[in-house]
Amino acid sequence: MNEAAPIISDRDDFLKQLVAIPSLSGEEQEVARLLVRTMQSAGFCASVDEAGNAVGVREEPGPPGTPTRELILLGHMDTVPGAIPVRMEDGMLFGRGAVDAKGPLAAFVMAAAQATIPPGTRVVVIGAVEEESSSSRGARHIAGQYKPDACIIGEPGGWDGITIGYKGRLLLAYVLSRDMGHSAGQQSGVAEAAIAWWNGLAGFIQQYNAPREKLFDQLIPAIRELRLTSDGLRDTIRLEAGIRLPPDYDPEHLLGLARDFAGDATVSAHGHEPAWQSPRTSPLVTAFSAAIRARGAQPRVKRKTGTCDMNVVGPVWQCPIIAYGPGDSLLDHTPREHIILGDYHRSIGILVHVIERLFVDGKWSGTD
């Protein structure tokens, strides 16, 4: 096997630098430059691609005539809004993005730099843009650029957690505009109409969920936006609903129902992502389970009710794929977002184990 690339000198400082750079969706350029510089200094071939993703590659050629196995470590650089003062305190790093998902992304870079790459293996680390927006522009770009043998998505699930599936999503936009009337008049206002529409949709969802005990198998509705405007002659209301979808649920059926409830309002759909999940027998689940057990812990295999870039690339690549990364996902998007540095360190060790043992002699390796 080849020698490992030079190890980045201070893993905590690297993570702190990433978190300290604001990087809302569409504003990831400075973080991308830091990632590229860091990966280049650690021996990667690294650059920013056409979509703005930071991409770093390490490869160890195999014997002539043998195929190269490709492992993609796909994280994301962007965060949701909300400035949290960046600080290290009692073994924790606070800051927006520390958990979701710069912690997992930093662990990817550190592990890929530290690992001894097996012959016949290419490891590609990608920091994607716009994962936190419905565009998922970075993941959509790379979906057509690569065809990996395996993919690890950088999302928080705990250093001993393995996420094998994410629910799907559909965004529904309800818009109603009417001539203004007196509040004491007989015609209901646009706000009341929008609320009635939402209640009708929620009632159907409640009936659908009743016989389904597991949250992953249910429809999960949420109001994402509610805005009422008026020009003095007409009132207009916009309600955007996000519906989390279970596997194999037909979004057209839900859109049809939503329109049936809408009366004279218009309802449109966008941001659809299908649910995606890998089997527990995936070679990646086996490899991560072995690595976690080797460190004295019991692996926790889970499915999540949110979405991530797995929903974008999974249906295209059709390869073994799981999500892994340090951090408590309950802290995602919250004012308390922070990561335990010890968990970040442990996750790097787990990832090194997986990178070094996933492919041996050009074949899947590792048994639980």
**254 bridge partner residues:** none
78, 100, 240, 309: which is the annotated catalytic residue? 78
Sign, Cα dihedral of 329, 332, 337, 338:
positive
What are the phi and psi torsion angles at 57 (to 5°)?
A: -130, 135
Cα–Cα nearest to 356, from 116, 150, 44 = 116
Cβ-based neighbour number of residue 319 at 10 Å: 20
Rounded to whole angstroms, the Cα distance separating 360 from 58 reads: 16
Rounded to whole angstroms, the Cα distance separating 303 from 289 reads: 15
User: 13 catalytic, yes or no?
Assistant: no
Helix (H, G, I), strand (E, B) or coil at 240: strand
Contact criterion met (CB below 8 Å) for 312 and 143: yes
Rounded to whole angstroms, the Cα distance separating 363 from 314 reads: 21
Q: How far is CA 225 from CA 261, 305, 352, in A?
A: 19, 20, 42
**238 bridge partner residues:** 175, 227
Rounded to whole angstroms, the Cα distance separating 366 from 368 reads: 7
28, 70, 130, 131: which is the annotated catalytic residue? 131
User: 213 catalytic, yes or no?
Assistant: no
> Which residues are marked as active site?
78, 131
